[in-house]
Amino acid sequence: MPQWIGWFLLLNLTTACIAYLFLYPRRNLIGFHLGMNIAMAAGGGLALGTGVILINLFPLHFIEVIISTALLGMVAGGLFGALFDYQSVLTGYINGLMMGIMSPMVGAAASEGPMFILFIELFILSCYVLLLTSAYRS
């Protein structure tokens, strides 16, 4: 596996930070239904991308990768849900936790080449773009 896939990690985190900073001033305009879906998609997508990349970069450190990805998914889902209300926090938390535990296994099973990671990145970035568009139009 080539080492340049580590840059996608930085891209994911930057996109999540930009999305959070974009959503923060308009959090009162967004209803609870869209808020719940934003928490689920943002936390789960960030945990999925991070787990798939990290297990390909460090294939021998399974325990550390599982712990860090589950923590990242929980914190990201909780933060995106905390923009809206407490039930969004709960939904984002459990979805980020599930995605964070499952994604290192998916990444380890699909470690053939960088094509899978490219498509995962495309999927996550298009998810974020859709999310920001729907938040902009609401």
Of all helices (H) and strands (E), which one includes residue 116?
A: helix 115-137
Tokens 């970069």: give the residue.
Answer: 57
Question: Interface residues for another protein in 2-31 (CB under 8 A)?
Answer: none
Question: Interface residues for another protein in 107-136 (CB under 8 A)?
Answer: 108-109, 111
Say how many C-beta atoms besides its own lie within 10 A of residue 118's C-beta. Answer: 12
Q: Rounded to the nearest whole angstrom, what is the least distance from the CB of residue 16 to another protein in the complex?
A: 22
Nearest residue (CB) to another protein, 70 versus 131: 70
Instruction: Report yes or no: 52 and 23 within 8 Å, Cβ to Cβ.
Output: no
1 secondary structure, DSSP code: -
Question: Interface residues for another protein in 50-109 (CB under 8 A)?
Answer: 59-60, 62-63, 66, 86-87, 89-91, 93-94, 97-98, 101-102, 105, 108-109
Q: Rounded to the nearest whole angstrom, what is the least distance from the CB of residue 74 to another protein in the complex?
A: 8
| Token pair of 120 as six digits | 């995962």
